[in-house]
Structure formats: C-alpha cells, structure tokens
A and B are shown apart, each in its own frame.
Chain A
C-alpha cells in the first residue's frame, strides 16, 4: 500500500502534465502559444503576493526570534497537559500553524532527542504530517485576490488544527502503545 502511494506521489505531476499536453494536442490547441500566454500571469501573481509574504514572514520572525513564542508555549503547556497532550510536543503543536520551517526545526529536535521510534517521536511525526501552516496560507491566498475580511476562516481552521492535535494523540496512543 505504502509503495503504491509512494509511487503515485512521484508520478502524479508527470501524469497531470502528460494528460494536459496530450489532450491539448488531440484537440488541436496551439499548446506552445497557450502555455506561454498563461505563464505570463505567473509573474504578476508572484509579485502580487510578495507584500503579503513579507508582512507575514516578518511578524512570524519577530514573534519567534524574540522568544515571545516560547513564553506563549510555557503559559499554555499546563492547560494542554490537562487534556492529555504531552508537554514535549506542545511547542510543535503551537508552531505548526505558524511556521512550516520553524515546526520542521522543532520536529528534527524532538526526533533527535527522543528517537524516531519513541512514543514522543512518533506522535510528533504524526502531528507534523496531519497539519498545515495556517497563517501563511491565509495571508497568501487571501492577499492574492484582495480579500480583506476572512470571516470564519481562521476560527474554523484553528478548530480543525486543535482536532488534529487531539486526533494525533488519540490515534498514536491507540496504535503505538
């Protein structure tokens, strides 16, 4: 099963590209012209999202590097422990929605300290694989089309992230111990 998934995940992009190109040729589209015409938009999009990227990267960097994030984690840790979340993985759980590279760093640290096959190691890996960076995605996707009011996106995303944390703890307890 895993080999199959692995294979698909390597093949998916070439397959998608092949389907698009072959279908274009069959339908007698001038594919080269059409590609170049569409690709022009790429630059505009990248430039359009740049200010939003700078704003969000800056805020995350300052919040993290100043040590504010660590204080925040220390305050939260006794509360989450009540709900059965091991305090070792809490920094990861909190960093995950904020920064992709930051949480990857914490994960490497946890796996290095406790070992990849320990309960903490497995739980941390499960958590990392079951969540995404929320703030960055929101800033970029809404920024790209000029949305100012995100409405219920953030609360719903945070609820979903909390569910991911508890589901990870629950499923790891069930499978690994």
Chain B
C-alpha cells in the first residue's frame, strides 16, 4: 500500500495568524495545465477579512516603520534564508500552481529568493539614495528623506504565483510600509506558504497580511478602504481597474497602475531586473527645516 499523503489546509494570513475566512467559505483550487487536479480548498476571503487585515496592517505600521533600517534589513534577509530552506516545497507548489516542469519552477523560485535578498539590502540605503541635504538660500539646515506611506493594498499578480508575489510585497515593506495582499485568485497556494515563511522569520505580525479569494469581490473593498494609504493594482489584469483607481481617488491613495498601455493591463516580465520604481511608489518625502545660528 502506498503511503497516504497528509494534505495541507490553506488558510488566510492576518496579523501573524492563520485564520479561516470569517465567512466560512472556501473555493476549489486546481493545478494548471492540461488535466487540472484538485490541490486544495483555499479560504474565500470576505470584506470583513479585508477589514481585519487592514486593522492588523495599521497596527503594525508603527513598530515596523519605527524599527531601524538595519533591523528591517536583517529581518528581510532572514526571510530569504527561510525561503531557501523551503525551496523544494515552493518548487512543487509553483510547478503545480502554474503548470510548469520542475526545472521551470526551479528557475522561478530561485529568482524569487534572489529577488527577496536583493530587496533585503535596500532598507538602509533608500534614504541615502533618495534623500538629500538642500542648499537653501538662508541660514537653515534643511534635509529631505523618504518615509513610508503607511498601509498599502496590493492586488498580487494573477499568473506569477511566487516570483510576482515577492516582487510586489518586498518593495512595499522595505521602507516600513505594511501590506494587505489579495493573492492570485487561481494560484493562491504559494502565497499562503509565503505567509508561513514570514510568520517564522521575525517579520512582526501584521506587516504582511494575505487574503485569498475572488479578486473582483475583494478589490473594491481594499480600494475604497479609508485606512489604506496606497493601492497597487498590478494584479488587476482581469478587472476594470479604472473603477478601482477612481475609488482610490476618494481618499487620494497613491496608486500603482497595472502594466500595459491605455486601458489594457498585462502582467510584467517578472524575470526582468527590478529598479527603484516599486519602492519609490510607496514613499513620501519629508523635508525638515531648522535655523542655524549662534
């Protein structure tokens, strides 16, 4: 008799814990490819789950943004270490989720780990690269430095279940923002496993919150939530993203539009080398003036 595998129950990741959806709902997740197989019943998150996640994210802003940049870098690097340790698990999950061969999935998982490590080096460099002393015409000391925006709502990429996910979460939290992420609707399982990595890598609870479910159902609540400061629409490729952006305008959220031209939206090439743009999108610049005198 072959051994019967122990299957995993995938839940949400909110405030450092793994609750089921308060709605009690779940939906069937299958593998991609020619003959889809049942993978798991993912939690089908609700408006209330989004609101709980925003509360958790708001609560975590003070501690995470107040930590030293060196400390945030250490914590983020630790995530890279734990990701590496779970490499085989992610290869299997990404292969199943995205319908890829093992070598193809391996390439993506390795890129995701390396991407995370790249971002882990940024917290203590952003202020040096993006900030400056301003030579004002007068006896004043005047410096400008970047600061996090606060709570960022993220629609994760729909296709790239791990590399794409890492590529939107890491740049948002590097500077001290916290995030509420709606995972890929059809490929949500690596996202919850990433939550397990985050939960065991010294990332404070609430810094990253991951809700699985129907993107079209959840996105409007995130876009209109008054306590969300910024909105990343990268994963809105199948949605009328203009409506989400218009809804975000009510509270003047900073919006990252989906890639593409015109009203078209497409998934970026996640294997391309990243730049500062995704970190820059969720930063404010604070300028502090002080007189100089004897």
Chains A and B are bound partners:
no
Interface positions of A (Cβ within 8 A of B): none
